Amino acid sequence: MRITAKAWAKTNLHLGVGPAREDGFHELMTVFQTIDLSDTVTLTTHDEELVEQGSVVKQLSVTGARGVPEDASNLAWRAVDALVARCPEKLPLPAVSVHIQKGIPVAGGMAGGSADAAATLRAVDAWIGPFGEDTLLEVAAELGSDVPFCLLGGTMRGTGRGEVLVDMLTRGKLHWVVAAMAHGLSTPEVFRKHDELNPPSHMDISALSEALLSGNSHEVGQQLHNDLSGAAFSLRPELRSVIQEGMHAGAQAGIVSGSGPTTVFLCDNAQQAQDIKDALLDAGQVYAAYTATGPAASSAEQRGAHILTIEK
């Protein structure tokens, strides 16, 4: 059997970071939105090779990006193991191989690893499930703070460490330019720098909620905010000039996506997005740039991680 699933990249329209909790995580107030950059995960079963104990994953491979782990530290591998652990009565199970095709910038603050985990959960659910949405979300939260959102998609408010999710009403599509850097940033390192700088927390999203309902990109652009920007700028000072370049080219707003170093620029329309993308590439400060729209997908079935094909 071969099952292929897709999951979208995310950006944070708002990221407010509160104090660190006793468990080491920070209290967040964030607004997630999927954008139509995506990864695909293909799970292939090897029916001739049954596994009674230990991981059923025999191999994990990645194309489309360098530096992504191809061992048990990969979130997709861990997602397989986590769901299989929920149904020991199904063992022995065939060994599986997992292939990830990357289209989301790596270590860029766009939840590429979390998207892979979410797509893998959908694939395993199609293979040996159904587990039910509640179980999938529970396992997703165990895997990482962004995995539940990547599973569900759309535009959502996230609280707690980002895993407590509520749908938000939006109107229309937003046009984005995504600018990726050659080298990633470590999320824990960015949070450590944030704690060191200790900037004020911005936890009020009421104005952004109203702007999203209006469907007006100018109003949305005025409300984009990221408390981690200062930490990202401190670690990677060149990000300031990337944002300045995008704004000079005409973007409504430019912010660091999540923990960075990817930056995203809100544009009026598709043509302006293409022009700003070209300007950023011509300036030579970014490794790659893409145009995208959000929220991704036009149907409820495809708004989050979803199955593309099942071959038996």
- 181 known member of a binding site: no
pTM of the predicted model as reported, rounded to 2 decimal places: 0.95
Beta-strand pair 263-267/174-180? antiparallel
Structural domains of the chain ordered from first start: 2-166+301-311 (3.30.230.10), 174-294 (3.30.70.890)
The response to whether 106 counts as a known ligand-binding position is: yes
256 annotated among ligand-binding-site residues: no
| Residues 82-141 pLDDT 10s | 999 999 999 999 999 999 999 999 888 899 999 999 999 999 999 999 999 999 999 999
Burial class (CB in 10 A: 0-12, 13-18, 19+), 47: exposed
Distances (CA, A) of 312 to 2, 4, 61, 80, 93: 7, 12, 21, 19, 16
pLDDT at 243: 98
Sequence-distant (6+) residues with CB within 8 A of 98 are 41, 42, 43, 44, 57, 59, 60, 61, 76, 77, 80, 120
Q: Is 215 annotated as belonging to a binding site?
A: no
Tokens of 214: 């209006």
pLDDT at 298 over 80: no
Active site residues per annotation: 10, 146
Q: pLDDT tens across 132-161, in order? A: 999 999 999 999 999 999 999 999 999 999
288 has binding-site annotation = no
Report the mean per-residue pLDDT for the chain: 97
Look up residue 7 and give its two tokens. 């999951």
> Does 111 count as an annotated binding residue?
yes
Give the model confidence (pLDDT) of 56-81 as tens digits.
999 999 999 998 999 999 999 999 99
